[in-house]
Amino acid sequence: MIWTDIEDLDPMPSFTHGRIVLLGDAAHAVTPDLGQGAGLSIEDAAVLASLLGRLPIDETLHEYDARRVGRAHRLASGSRLYAKVAQWQNPLVVPLRNRVVKSIPERFMDRQLDAVLDIDFEPVQAAA
């Protein structure tokens, strides 16, 4: 068995600097508690590819930042919160947390999942 600590990054205010662009864990390493780390990376790549096919590089990087930073920050914050709650160890609080989680209505959980999975992609145009 290999044991390593889970590390996440505080959200960065921008994923670009000049003509340098970060995506995936380089831009927004998140805890695995929402299971969205790889998904965010794929989203980043899809958005960047789509924009590169349509806009000049400087506009692409500005638009990429505008589209990706907010979503990545929301998911990173949510994942961090889930991690903290899941790791509570106080024997008085843990049974209460477990009872509350079990009692959350399914429709509420579905809405939360919809918010996590709500992403709109523009089609990526293949090079001719």
Q: In the prediction, which pLDDT does 63 show?
A: 94
Q: In the prediction, which pLDDT does 9 show?
A: 77
**Structure confidence by residue, pLDDT tens digits, 97-119:** 999 989 999 998 888 888 777 77
**Structure confidence by residue, pLDDT tens digits, 88-98:** 999 999 999 99
Dist CA 62 CA 87 (whole Å): 37
The answer, yes or no, to whether residue 123 has pLDDT greater than 70, is: no
**Structure confidence by residue, pLDDT tens digits, 3-35:** 888 777 788 999 999 999 999 989 998 888 888
Are the beta carbons of 2 and 51 closer than 8 angstroms? no
Task: Provide mean pLDDT across the span 37-66.
Answer: 92
Compute the 3-state secondary structure of the chain and give helix, strand, coil in percent, each to the nearest 5: 60, 5, 40
